[in-house]
A and B are shown apart, each in its own frame.
Chain A
């Protein structure tokens, strides 16, 4: 089997002239609330796009419904603002129809995990070479503040005045369970990190799933401040990096080790050194480690961000193209006349 090895966009997608952020900015007025985390994500994506060397006309942004899903209108590329939850399915059709396109899915926590949960799982399972960015603000923004599948247990929202009584989903767990070949997480305000993650997602050949913690300053303000805040983030978050021990803390003095099949946050020194810690391996063929890391939550653990998993597997669209190629090799390019005349025929004179 000959599978393309380049990233999204295929061979034809390389641009000769270097574009700038401005080239990716559409003429549409952005209509998110001032201060919304979506602005930051939009800015980083617009900034990374020129670095990826893609041609504008080969890029398609597809979204569902939600504040986050307005995103495609602001990108000066092709865009499809579809219906609630269905963006992964629309993207599947686009990518299958034209594998040369660089296809991006922009979705929210309600869009992707509630109404569109099934499509998300199956788009990931098929390993299409598409990039899914989930804006997780742990709330329904567009419908004005109901709880979402990622809202914390007990949280009071408009639709849960007595507190949420369903347990939240972890988006990364879902992606890993669906065998995503690339899984990452970043934060709207961590500009450089977010750029790195978006760029790596694009370069990954196969489905890329990126969760971005996004602040909704109107209906769920400060949802992530507890660990993303300037003063606390070094101690309450951990940046995982391939091939490196899991170290965190302002003084690089804490780490994650495995004990009795469980992860444990430990203080280095006093008999424990970096060599006792887990060395992150995003290339591991199985996803056990990625899964364990993705389950770490504040306050028991530092919240992990970075790339959890990055492995190769043939993509759906290439397998489909391969079937077509080999069918043509075996049977010859289809002839409509022959097809019409196939089966048992008889002639009436």
Chain B
């Protein structure tokens, strides 16, 4: 390799310190961009940066190579500061082919770094991407960005051909590691974590392991040796609360929360699900937890999945089902059954772009009203929504705690952005986890009445088959209160409808008050829920630094609302509700508190940018 000869020059090169960098890796679906991005993220996390990621991949598994729909991207933000979002705009774009350039260039900040694999800019690929001429020859491009044209495929082949004994096709597949190596040098990251990963991942194919490791080192050496980069960059470790950390995605944290809930409650977990993007990873994760006694059922459809979960709850397990919006629609009738039979049930909805099949791999928050109202009859359920990937762990436990304590279904609204996005997660000590004990009724104490009620929560007892003298029958037909016998009596029906509503309302006594971010009164209150937490909080923080009277609250409990929400809203002149839907929370707030809440909708399959929110807040601030 040529690297050694020129090494001396390296010291002359300038190292520049940066606070925050946003990189987007983009390439063909087959180029391994998700892997590259994940590796860069893991390494950055391990060396102490704060991180936030946004994978963005096509719904097609193998769209035609080189085509626009086949472009897969992975954006990550890493910083020496506390960050909450994957970054509004990439500072760096790595484009592995013309299609990736075409799809992503508009997002790159002006003057940003553009690294392209020139080998992929051949006539066929240019045509597939719809370029009339090679954009790399375009003077404008060179003026607007700092462009680095690198023959990545050629350089990768040159580095590997002599070193490893694998077919050329396999060698070419290593080029993402070559590009990763280059980026590691450019941003001053160690190669060791990735080298360790490669070794364990390709344990069974040592030659492939060697090839990938060689490619990584070669890319690094190339960047170091070739004089195309005059500067490289350093992003110092962030000042993060002390503790032990790991990187976690929302789906991983959700699954972990389910297991934790089962352990805390001392009840076995049964997860029944039908595969659907972006929820399937929860099924995958939980199905490997058999040693925790976790039972998973891949059901024949979403209806069967929720019904199996309800059956499991009836039998005394923590019954949980997971899906995305289309599946939640199918589960509606059965959720009503769980409302009627007053059984604990957790329904996870990892929301995606809708309606219908919609945008399976893109994020959206448009199932809130479906969760709230999407069933026949007066059919209230509790709704919770995690705010960050790590918060998924906590809110999953909360979902089970509420479901079992109050004996009703809880819908847990995650979304594609949380599901696949990652952040550093401070590992909780077991002792920090909320304690929740579940008690099954085991004795009749006279005649057993399945619908007798706890005076505090109005919950009915959880009595499960196997318990002597507690035999009882439940079902979807209206129940007489207390006895649980079938009843068509008019007064009883009204009483039961009100009771079921009251049960949900009483959960408000059992959840924490909202904390206001910023002053507790002022000009504008931004109210958000779910995955928009990061961008909203960052936007509000920036505006506060500019001295503006802006605060925010973030709802993780959506039904019922925290008790102090109305109070807080009343202390601001304006209420702004940014949501990745057409104003669903805004509608609920207006109806509930009679406030002229301003909706700020976005439905593009993408999260809010901080800059978008700032612009909107400024606008209503002045109004």
Contacts and interface: CB of A to CB of B under 8 A. Distances in A.
Contact of B291 (A89, A97, A333): A333
Given A89-B304, A97-B312, A72 B242 contact: no
Interface in B314-338: 314-317, 319, 333-334, 336-337
Size band of the B side of the interface?
Answer: 35 or more
Interface in B229-267: 237, 240-247, 256, 259-260, 263
A90 B308 contact: yes
A346 to B, nearest CB: 5
A60 interface: yes
Contact of B473 (A79, A341, A347): A79
B314 A90 contact: yes
B485 interface: yes
Interface string A163-203: 00000000000000000000000000000000000000000
Interface string B424-454: 0001101000000000000000000000000
Contact of B428 (A86, A95, A340): A340
Contact of B259 (A55, A121, A339, A343): A339
B416 interface: no
A338 to B, nearest CB: 10
Given A89-B304, A347-B244, A101 B466 contact: yes
- How extensive is the interface on chain A, given as a class? 35 or more
A72 B295 contact: no
B307 interface: yes
B314 A89 contact: no
A12 B600 CA distance: 60
Given A81-B477, A340-B427, A96 B472 contact: no
**Most chain B beta-carbon neighbours within 10 Å: one of A76, A89, A328:** A89
The B contact surface, by secondary structure, is: mixed
A332 B468 contact: no
Interface string B256-296: 10011001000010101000000000000000011111010
Interface stretch (B42-50, B183-191, B381-389, B531-539): B42-50
A334 to B, nearest CB: 3
Contacts of A98: 315-317, 464-466
Interface string B412-431: 00000000000000011010
B270 A334 contact: no
Contact of A79 (B311, B333, B474): B474
Given A97-B268, A324-B293, A341-B427, A348 B245 contact: yes
A327 B311 contact: no
Contacts, number: 213
Nearest to B477: A81
A92 B475 contact: no
Contact of B303 (A59, A72, A89, A347): A89
Interface of B: 42, 45-46, 48, 193, 237, 240-247, 256, 259-260, 263, 268, 270, 272, 289-293, 295, 297, 299-301, 303-305, 307-317, 319, 333-334, 336-337, 341, 427-428, 430, 464-477, 485-486
Given A58-B466, A89-B304, A90-B310, 13 more contacts: A78-B465, A81-B476, A82-B337, A88-B304, A92-B311, A93-B314, A94-B312, A97-B312, A101-B315, A331-B291, A333-B292, A342-B246, A346-B48
